[in-house]
Structure 1
C-alpha cells in the first residue's frame, strides 16, 4: 500500500470531499459566511482563502493519498487567517500556536496508523516553521459531526484545556509530544478524525 501526505494547494483542493471544499465555517466570519451560503459562493470563497494563505503564509494543510486515492486531509492556519475564531468566547489563540481547523480520514482507512502520521506530519512542519503548539476550540456539548471538534476527543489525543468554557473551551497540544506518539493513540485519533464527516449548517455561536 503506497501512502503519501502532500501539501494542500489549489491543484489538489478538488481532492477534498465536496462538503469540505465548499465549507467556509472557519474561513469567513459569521456574517460573510451566511452571505456566501445564500449567494452559493462557498466554493469560490474557499478557493480564495486557500490561495491567500498559500501566498502569504505557505502550506495550510495536508492531503493523504493511498495508492493515489485521496482518503483524508487536515487543515490548519495561524489565527489571523481564521476570522471565525474571533467569534468564540475563549479566543484568542495563543501567539505561539497555529489553529487546527478540521481534519478527516475515510472510515475505510482508519485504524491503520494514518491518523497518527497525519498529525505527526503537521507537527514536524510547524516545528520547522517555529511554532510550539496547535490549539483548537472544542465543543463540550458535541452531539453530531460538525466543524467544531468534540472537546473530549481532543483531550483523548493529548490536548489540554488552556481556557475553560461551558461550551467552547480552548485547547492546546504541545507539538513535540506528538513526535513520540505510538499506536495507543490511534483509536482516539480515529474518533477525532471521524467527528467531521457531515456537512454542518452555518449557525451563529
Structure 2
C-alpha cells in the first residue's frame, strides 16, 4: 500500500490518533499542566493550541495515511509558540529555525517508512515558506535516566514520556540533521533548508541512474565488440 502525506487542517483535527490528539507534552507549560492535571481537558488544550498556531502562523502538522488509516503524524511550529522549548539543557532553538516537536508512528504502520515521508513533507512545506532551518530536540537512550524518570526540566503531562513524545536523535541524524548543541540525553539537531533541497536530491538520484545506465551500455558494447573480433 502507498503512503500519502497531507497537511493537517482545522477541520481534520479529529482524524488524529488518540495519543496525538490528547498529548500536550510540548504545547502546555509543564507547571500549568501539573497545577491543572485534575481538571484539565488535554484534548481541548491540544485543539486550542493547534487552532492558535494555524491561525497565527499556518500549517503546523503533517499526517501520513497508509490505505485509509492514519499511520503517523508530525508537529512543528515556531519555538516561541512551544512552551516546553525553553526547558531543555540545549535550549534555545536558533532564531532562524522552526522547531520539529513530535513525530509519532502508529504501531500498525511500522515498516512502511512513513518517517522519511513525513520529514520530506515537513521540509517541503517549510522550504515553500522560506524557512532557513528545521531544528529538533532529540532523545538518546539512557537506561539510568529512564530508571529515574528523567524528563526535560519538568514532569511529562498526562502520563506521556519523553520517549513517546520526542524524536530519536539517531533517527534525526539518519535524516540528515546535524547536532548543533551536544548533550548525552537531549541534543539539539539542525537541518539546513533551501529551495533546492528536494530538487538536488532528485537530480543527484537521476544522475546516478544515468551513470549506471551508461556504464552498463559501455560494458555491453565492449562485450559485443570483443565477440565480433574473435
Across the aligned residues of Structure 1 and Structure 2, the Cα RMSD in angstroms comes to 2.5
SS in 2 for 1:146: helix
Give the aligned partner of residue 116 of structure 1: 116
Question: 5+ residue gaps in structure 1?
Answer: 184-205
1:175 CA drift (Å): 3.2
Tell me which moved more, 134-143 or 81-90: 134-143
Query: For residues 21-77 of structure 1, what are the alpha-carbon distances to aligned partners after superposition, in whole Å with 9 as ceiling and x for unaligned?
Result: 111010011112223432241111101000000100011001112333211111111
- Output the TM-score relative to the length of structure 2: 0.71
Length, aligned pairs only:
183
The answer to whether the aligner puts 1:163 opposite 2:181 as a matched pair is yes
The answer to whether the aligner puts 1:75 opposite 2:75 as a matched pair is yes
Give the aligned partner of residue 150 of structure 1: 168
Greater Rg by CA: 2
Alignment of 1:84-123 (within 5 A): 84-123=84-123
Give the aligned partner of residue 30 of structure 2: 30
Q: Distance in 2 between matches of 1:124 and 1:6?
A: 11
- Output the TM-score relative to the length of structure 1: 0.78
SS in 2 for 1:12: helix
Distance 1:125 1:111, change over 3 A: same
1:15 CA drift (Å): 1.8
Q: Distance in 2 between matches of 1:24 and 1:56?
A: 19
Q: Distance in 1 between matches of 2:114 and 2:138?
A: 22
Alignment of 1:123-138 (within 5 A): 123-138=123-138
1:170 CA drift (Å): 1.0
Question: 5+ residue gaps in structure 2?
Answer: 147-162, 206-230
1:109 CA drift (Å): 3.1
Q: Distance in 2 between matches of 1:60 and 1:36?
A: 25
Alignment of 1:164-203 (within 5 A): 164-176=182-194, 179=198, 180=201
The structure whose residues are more often helix, as a share, is 2
